[in-house]
Amino acid sequence: MARVLGFISYSRARFGGAGYIAGEAPDGLLTVNTAPARRELEVRHRLTRTLIATTFSNADGTYRVGDLDPNEEFDVIARNYTGTYNDVIVSRVKPAT
């Protein structure tokens, strides 16, 4: 399991549950130009756009956001704080349990 630094939780009472969204090897790592990277992530509830959590991926590209309702869909937004690249959005993510 990835160690997450700087995790902030927002709307757990409304959208909380036993699910999680994670970036794990081999296919789910956060990458920049195919190399694992540390970047800011936002998790938003798909229908309401409510900000659920913000965190940073680890330098190895792993991340994990827990306590999510597995029956809901979320958008995961990777923000490039360097300003070199556009943000990347993965939409309609269903949390694993």
The per-residue pLDDT string of the chain (97 residues; one tens digit each, 9 = 90 and over) reads 445 555 555 555 678 899 999 999 888 899 999 999 999 999 999 998 999 999 999 999 999 999 999 999 999 999 988 888 999 999 999 999 9
Q: For residues 38 and 32, what is the distance between their CA atoms, to the nearest angstrom?
A: 9
CATH class of residue range 8-93: mainly beta
Interacting residues of 41 by C-beta distance below 8 A, sequence separation 6+: 30, 54, 55, 56, 57, 63, 65, 76, 77, 78, 79
- Reported pTM: 0.83
Under 8 Å between Cβ of 82 and 66: no
